[in-house]
Structure 1
């Protein structure tokens, strides 16, 4: 049976996103602050390095009951016993990912267009990534920013739980929740924060304060 999961404060991190600070330290502090899910996203490392990093994060997250999601690399997810994978539009198709990962895995999918959101209604995915809400430097090839209006439009098009992603901060967290966001997916807001634990706490507090 698939475990429950909480999208409220969803950290996406890799070694490069953490600057000089060790990834494991950032993740450990973020979990102390209340991060509810962690996605490991590494683009320019070897398979062995990816495996070692994923294994390190799994050892940190498992005792806290926080799911580990692996970006794209289903082989790595299976090897370390990660709870799920996140795929993009050019990655492995969702139906194949589901077959490989099994019915209990958490599978997320990034959305780049309205048409993709509509198509996802027929897919066996657990959540969608809707964005970027605002311009972001953490993903060079991102699509046109949605803004609040575009996010609300796409959120209204899908039955799937959805996270807002793309330069999301505590300042806009409450408003995004009022527009239907089930959680916030962040990189820099936590990875580049002086205190990742406090940054996670602030994001959660702000998201809980729903604003019109």
Structure 2
């Protein structure tokens, strides 16, 4: 897939927002330059998730930003999203690829080199690797060493996105690590709870240009 589409990867979390506020945040982020959006809302019924995904897709389509659905293959297909992201304890990668077909984007969480290689072989288009820093989104998530991220990038041919506790302040720590192959960073809280989403998005994009160029 296009590596540039993964540069600034927004992963959603509604927190305590109303649906209207949540959608407004996504619209602002897309307008401001996020390159891909993953709808990741764990505490919704199937119908609630489907209805929300339809609304989010209207926004992402308007800005030509790919929409990825977390975990829910059924919702991904129902709303004709650009793709699906699956974690360690979800569908086997090969099964997800078979059902999705060759045209949809398939992202896979890979915290180890072994998982990364298996995912690539089974049809993943990109990998999400982390948590690079402590994160409140997944409070018990083990930290992935930057050295592991570097090794995964060197081992696979598909793009790798760093995730977990990443902010516009700490992504500087990725500079000078010798990492070659990171396509972008996935961000949750630092964008979804930003006081000024437009300014925060631009801060990320400016730093990512320096880090990834």
Specify if TM > 0.5.
yes
Structure 2 distance, partners of 1:65, 1:77, is: 17
Aligned residue in 2 for 1:98:
97
1:132 alignment partner, SS class: coil
Structure 1 distance, partners of 2:20, 2:104, is: 30
Structure 2 distance, partners of 1:132, 1:4, is: 20
Alignment of 1:67-146 (within 5 A): 67-142=66-141, 144-146=142-144
TM-superposed CA distance for 1:19, in Å, is 8.2
TM-superposed CA distance for 1:110, in Å, is 0.2
* Unpaired segments ≥5 residues, structure 2: none
TM-superposed CA distance for 1:89, in Å, is 1.3
Q: Could you tell me the TM-score, scaled by structure 2's length?
A: 0.90
Structure 2 distance, partners of 1:160, 1:55, is: 29
TM-superposed CA distance for 1:202, in Å, is 0.8
Aligned residue in 2 for 1:58:
57
TM-superposed CA distance for 1:152, in Å, is 1.5
Aligned residue in 2 for 1:179:
179
Give the aligned CA root-mean-square deviation in angstroms. 2.3
Aligned residue in 2 for 1:8:
7
Moved more, 84-93 or 202-211: 202-211
Structure 2 distance, partners of 1:146, 1:4, is: 22
Aligned residue in 2 for 1:149:
147
Q: Could you tell me the TM-score, scaled by structure 1's length?
A: 0.90
Q: Residues 20 and 47 (structure 1 numbering): CA distance in 2 closer, same or farther, change over 3 Å?
A: closer
1:209 alignment partner, SS class: helix
* Unpaired segments ≥5 residues, structure 1: none
TM-superposed CA distance for 1:176, in Å, is 3.0
Aligned residue in 2 for 1:199:
200
TM-superposed CA distance for 1:198, in Å, is 1.4
Structure 2 distance, partners of 1:97, 1:116, is: 15
Structure 2 distance, partners of 1:137, 1:26, is: 20
Q: Report if the CA contact (8 A) 1:117-1:154 is conserved.
A: yes
Aligned residue in 2 for 1:42:
41
2:9 alignment partner, SS class: strand
Structure 2 distance, partners of 1:63, 1:52, is: 17
